[in-house]
Amino acid sequence: MSIISCFLMPHPPLIIPDIGKGEEKKIQDTIDSMDRIGTLIAEYRPDTIIVITPHGNLFRDAISINYDKLLIGDFGSFGHSNINQEYINDREFADALIEEATDNNIPAVLVDHNLKKEYKLNSRLDHGVLVPLYFVTKYYRSFDLVHITYGLLSNMDLYGFGQVIQKISNKLNRQVVVIASGDLSHKLTRNAPSGFSEFGAIFDQMIIKFLKEDSRTDIMTLDGKLSEKAGECGLRSIQIMMGTLDGLGTKNRVFSYEGPFGVGYGCAELTVTGKQNDRNILQEIDRKNSAIKAEIREKEDEYVRLARKTLETYVSRKKRITSDDNVQDKVLLTEKAGVFVSIKKNGELRGCIGTIEPTKKSIAEEIITNAISAGIYDPRFKPIDEDELDQLVYSVDILMKPEKIKTKDKLNPQEYGIIVSKGHKKGLLLPNLEGVDTVDEQMRIVLRKAGINPWETYEMERFRVIRHH
């Protein structure tokens, strides 16, 4: 067998004694587990170690593979550039991955000299690679490395890329260990780095349970809203790892889990035991995805349905629908309001355009115009393609009249959106957004959107919305 074993490993830099300066002792269980993993990998003696990280060159629409001949990195970002690592890149493996992924229509790119130059990318090893390998190299060094950063792709594509890794491992006859580098929820406690969410512990408990029970389909189809609320960075690494085990049986062991700093650190091994061809995980994922999509479509109200039908018609038929032929609700046809249309794909924003005040003769016309703009003309994204339409989820916000406020004490990010303005500069942030839990975070984002410095004088308005999703 070419895939020998897979591991979940966290990547807190403070676990390195020179960085933690004693704080690392609070996660001694994790240290012991990471050391245990290092000794196991030394026993397996892999030719190649593949590390899947969230913290390299992260692209919204592609998985990236580092193509430097030598893979080099250090902990300079954490005040210790003297702690450094260097590995030989298994470029034959990287080339084969790209070719096979392309043949399977899975978006992946090599971060080579040209791409680095064009997009000013940094190809040095990130701490998502450095921390796990710090423990591995205490016990074993005779391996080449493949450095992969997951993309914000669908669960089907992430699993499919894992299958590609397995196929190339077999084709090149490499003995391979896969490390899914990732921390779990960053929101476990009140003093957690990303704030607190009650969903953090729920997410972590589910991941640990699913790993123990080898519940691969449950991992692959975990609710995206839950993972977003939990504030994690490891799920997609784990999902690619699941794909590398397609058709293989495993013995699963969770070595430890703890979160004293408000971030969940889990260590686990999935040891390959042989072939297991009685399950088709991709079919299970597709079936569950279809059920989720059907449920979402069934719950759509007329506002959301209008936004979706507008963009689907415009993209597939290059035609703009009319409100008179597609709307029954008299409120939509007779009332006016500012409207924002938001579009998500795989849980990530794919487009959002709106109007603070009405610019059309009705809410319906406002939705139609802004749905097209969000899907085609949002400058942050490329226009939506026809093959993406089935993967999109829509929401429509109807804006209430804004009211001026003088201090941020009048804000509540769950209840009020905010508008800031200074001269011709203006920025808006909708209320009740995932990951925006505090007024300070809300202010930071909206000021950045407006191009206004925090120390400048500016005007503030708050507003409520009626959200349809």
Q: SS3 breakdown of the chain: % helix, strand, coil, rounded to 5?
A: 40, 25, 35
User: Which runs of E-coded beta strand occur in 307-450?
Assistant: 338-345, 348-354, 392-399, 403-405, 417-422, 425-429
Q: Outline where 120-192 has alpha helix (H).
A: 127-136, 155-171
The model's confidence at residue 276, banded by pLDDT at 50, 70 and 90, is: confident
> 309 vs 106, 321, 351, 383, 392, CA distance in Å?
27, 8, 16, 16, 12
Per-residue pLDDT of 136-179, as tens digits, reads: 999 999 999 999 999 999 999 999 999 999 999 999 999 999 99
- pLDDT value of position 452: 96
* 3-state secondary structure (DSSP) of residue 461: strand
* 3-state secondary structure (DSSP) of residue 255: strand
- pLDDT value of position 1: 60
Contact between 436 and 445 under an 8 Å Cβ cutoff? The reply is: yes
- pTM attached to this predicted model: 0.88
Question: Residue 124 phi/psi, 5° resolution?
Answer: -65, 150
- pLDDT value of position 194: 86
> 184 vs 27, 201, 210, 264, CA distance in Å?
14, 9, 13, 5
For the chain, first and last CA: distance in Å?
47
Which residue in 176, 359, 337 sits closest to 272, CA to CA?
Answer: 176
- pLDDT value of position 446: 95
Which residue in 376, 375, 344, 436 sits closest to 154, CA to CA?
Answer: 344
Calculate what percentage of the chain has a pLDDT beyond 90.
87
The single-letter code of the amino acid at 190 is R
| Weakest-pLDDT range from 170-184, 263-277, 278-292, 452-466 | 278-292
Which residue in 175, 242, 171 sits closest to 207, CA to CA?
Answer: 242
Which residue in 390, 396, 347 sits closest to 374, CA to CA?
Answer: 396
- What are 324's two structure tokens? 């008179």
Strand partners, 251: 271
- 263-288 average pLDDT score: 91
Q: What would the DSSP string read from start to end of 188-228?
A: SSTTSTT---HHHHHHHHHHHHHHHHT-HHHHHT--HHHHH
Per-residue pLDDT of 340-362, as tens digits, reads: 999 998 888 999 999 999 999 99
Res 26 pLDDT > 80: yes
**Distance separating alpha carbons of residues 64 and 31, to the nearest angstrom:** 29
Compare 31 and 329 and report the one with higher pLDDT: 31
**Distance separating alpha carbons of residues 227 and 370, to the nearest angstrom:** 28
> How far out from the chain centre does Cα 249 lie?
27
Q: Which helix (H) or strand (E) holds 101?
A: helix 91-103
**Strand pairing class (176-181; 3-9):** parallel
Number of residues written out for the chain: 469
Contact between 154 and 346 under an 8 Å Cβ cutoff? The reply is: yes
The model's confidence at residue 448, banded by pLDDT at 50, 70 and 90, is: very high
- pLDDT value of position 193: 86
Strands across the sheet containing 403-405: 403-405, 459-463, 417-422, 425-429
Contact between 352 and 373 under an 8 Å Cβ cutoff? The reply is: no
Res 435 pLDDT > 90: no
Compare 136 and 120 and report the one with higher pLDDT: 136
> 320 vs 53, 57, 303, 315, 390, CA distance in Å?
42, 38, 16, 9, 19
**Distance separating alpha carbons of residues 201 and 186, to the nearest angstrom:** 10
Res 135 pLDDT > 90: yes
Contact between 53 and 238 under an 8 Å Cβ cutoff? The reply is: no
> 345 vs 152, 311, 431, CA distance in Å?
9, 14, 20
- What are 130's two structure tokens? 């450095």
Q: Which helix (H) or strand (E) holds 65?
A: strand 63-66
| Mean of per-residue pLDDT scores for the chain | 95
Res 444 pLDDT > 90: yes
* 3-state secondary structure (DSSP) of residue 90: coil
* 3-state secondary structure (DSSP) of residue 451: coil
